[in-house]
Structure 1
Amino acid sequence: MGKLSSEEKVEILADLVGIESVNDNELDVANYLHDLFQKHHIDSKIIKLTDTRANLVAEIGSGSPVLAVSGHMDVVSPGDSSKWQTPPFKLTEDSEGHLHGRGASDMKSGLAAFVISMIELHEQGLPKHGTVRLLATAGEEIEGHGAKAFYKDGYMNDVDALVIAEPSKDKIIYAHKGSMDIRVTSNGKSVHSSMPSLGYNAINPLVDFVNRINQAYNSITESNDLLGDSVVSATIINGGSQVNSIPDYAEAEFNVRTIPEADNDSYQKLFEQIAKNVKVDAPDSYLNIDTYMSRPPVFTKGDNRLVDIAQSLSKKYLGKEVPKKASPGVTDASDLVVDKGEDFPFIMFGPGETSQAHVIDEYVDKKDYLNFIDLFEDLLVEYLDENE
């Protein structure tokens, strides 16, 4: 069948953007990709996680080495759709060649580029050596359940290198910080505000906790030459329901960006220890720590063939050698490469600009999207051939 036309490639992206997989419904995306692969005689497998959420795995080639490529199927909410210039779930091209739609940049264009590159390589009987394995994930935007499931089920055990096509056309990421979302809750006893001694104000120990966390963070001296400092931010705080009632419940949420020297485990212990140190004067009151998202930092050296090939191909397809860098953001690599070590070849590189992620009127440049399909085809074959 040969290569797909540019129109067919854009149509596939339009189909994906048209599936409203807002923090859910990845099963619909997986079914679409499964049917598309089947049409081109490529085997794929849908791995259901819930009734509406699923991962998808597909392979071309055979044997080792194994080069994994990964993209997530979920997107964030478009927010107020009336603020968009075009319908968020209808891919729309403007006069400058930008393709607008929720997920156009983050990251259905990267996912589509991987899928199409695999289809076109398979049509050519490529790769001759090794395996390309697509790991299409669910839940990347919130908790990383899809990547965690792939790792738990052994899909990374034999993988020799990993490419994630998050929007990053201007830089090749080879290391990034980790992330934690932590909810701290405080329980008290509600009474009338004129008689506070008969109850217990849940806000008081929570305020003490927030202050102690800030003090502890300010005393942390550990840093990473590549990733910089860890970051702790209290981002949400709620408590009370009526001004003349003592609140019986309050909560604060924190986002923590971690580095190898101040990692997720150390911050978990810090939060738990400070909770124990906060004075709580009521017998039935307490502070509870709920870490509902924890993704470790990814630290690789970035000195390998995968990075070198990607930089060389960026000159060919993007007109310049894209620099390699570290990132404060988080990808599914946090849960996919947890035991691979510093020498493991990993990059985040894909169509779209980082600045377009999660914004109103999100877009990917059509030329970049189409160029990355060709870039990925060369990258996958060249890496596998050189490592055969």
Structure 2
Amino acid sequence: MEQQERLQILKDIINIDSTNGNEEAVANYLGELLSRHGIDSKKVQYAEKRASLVSEIGDGGNRVLGLSGHMDVVDAGDPEKWTYPPFEATEKDGKLYGRGSTDMKSGLAAMVIAMIELKDEKKNLPGKVKLLATVGEEVGELGAEQLTSEGYADDLDALVIGEPSGPRIWYAHKGSMNYTVTSYGKNAHSSMPEFGVNAIDNLALFYNEVEKFVASVKETNPLLGNFTHNATVISGGNQVNSIPELAKMQGNIRTIPEVDNDEIKNVFAKIVDKLNAEKNVKLELVWDYDKLPVFSDKDSDIAKIGQAAYEKQAGQKIDLVTSPGTTDAAEFIKAKKEFPVIIFGPGVIETAHQIDEYVAIENYTDMIEVYKEMIIQFLAEK
């Protein structure tokens, strides 16, 4: 495939606005592209206009390597603040600008093109490559959860997720949990608060108890660092001279094995139960998002193959590191058998979700070659 065609494919999928949805348009584009090169695909419907895509090449005689990328992007914000329109991919000074250029349509496109080129080159692949292109990674890893529950990851021997890592390879990341706590009170005039129940005050009781727990946590993980908690969204009341009858808070937690998801759920439940036993306190806690920490083998075949392939292509040695964020790996690791996972793709995480998001074109095209080499080397090993 010519370099301009490689670049045009990426431009085409950046130009599809798949903000927290509409991924089926991307799946349709990629499915048609693969079909033109004799590669079959299957759409896995999640909801209206939302479908993941599964595709395979190889003879399936040896190992199975999974390649995964998500098709959704985060909101572009105010397009007037962008130098170039966020959904009109723009090439400038060796960079390609647009929402999703780095997170993570460049990684997804590079994986698809690597599969196509290996097929067109009639490379002998003594094993199978499985593409898992997902919906809803940015808002709950929805597609990865569905594909895993339906068995699409059960035959994998290794998985590469093409998130912008670069140039590094991530082999572990923290878990992530989101919650909403709702405080129910009673309206009253602010001049007579004794006739009401202040939902904001009771919400503050919950927040203070959580922060006491957070301060008491001394455990850390030598690779991932500290457990963290942040209150990120808060709302309550409807006018300044009324006692509020409703208040809500949302928070995000990044977990480590030493302070894991189950422990957090137990601690928070005890806090709510304790406060609800007090007079005029009524709190309701809902867990909106619950993703496990991911730990893979730093010395796995796929990690070493990835390092060697990047050094061969780019002439640069890269490190194996950990990430504070979370990825679709948190769902895929729930498959029936264990397999090593690495997060390795074009782009740098620092530009993800930012205005004027971009990917370096050379990095993108380098990663196509890197993925091809990784596929060949991984499937060649017994």
Provide, for residues 42-66 of structure 1, a one-character-per-residue CA deviation record: whole Å limited to 9, x for no partner: 0100111111111110000122311
Query: Mind listing any 5+ residue stretches in structure 2 that lack a counterpart?
Result: none
User: Quick check: 1:344 aligned with 2:332?
Assistant: no
Deviation at 1:113, TM superposition (A): 0.2
What pairs with 1:1-388 in structure 2 (closer than 5 Å)?
4-63=1-60, 64-94=62-92, 96-279=93-276, 286-338=282-334, 344-386=339-381, 388=382
Deviation, structure 1 residue 305? 1.4
What CA deviation, in whole Å up to 9, does each residue of 1:301-346 have, x standing for no partner? 31111111111112122221110001101110000013678x8321
Structure 1 segments (4+ residues) deviating >6 Å: none
- RMSD of aligned residue pairs (Cα, Å): 1.4
Query: Residues of 2 paired with 1:147 and 1:13: CA distance?
Result: 22
Residue 293 of structure 1 deviates from its aligned partner by: 1.0
Say which SS state the counterpart of residue 48 (structure 1) adopts.
Answer: strand
CA distance in structure 2 between the partners assigned to 1:248 and 1:370 by the alignment = 56
Does the 8 Å contact 1:297/1:334 carry over to 2?
yes
Q: Matched residues in 1 for 2:266 and 2:43: separation?
A: 37
Structure 1 unmatched ranges of 5 or more: none
Q: Give SS of 1:107's match.
A: helix
> Residues 339 and 43 (structure 1 numbering): CA distance in 2 closer, same or farther, change over 3 Å?
closer
**Contact 1:200–1:282 under 8 Å retained in 2:** no
In structure 2, distance between residues paired with 1:184 and 1:261: 24
Q: Write the distance in 2 (CA, Å) between the matches of 1:340 and 1:328.
A: 26
How far off its partner does 1:258 sit? 0.6
**CA distance, structure 2, for counterparts of residue 279 and residue 270 of structure 1:** 14
- Worse-matched range after superposition: 214-223 or 65-74: 214-223
Deviation at 1:127, TM superposition (A): 4.4
Amino acid in the other structure paired with 1:48: Q
Using the size of structure 2 for normalisation, the TM-score is 0.97
Q: TM-score, normalised by structure 1?
A: 0.95
Letter in 2 for 1:11: Q
CA contact (8 A) 1:298 1:338 kept: no
Q: In the TM superposition, what is the alpha-carbon distance from 1:356 to its structure 2 partner?
A: 1.0
CA deviations 1:18-70 (Å, max 9, x no partner) are 10000010111111111111111101001111111111100001223110000
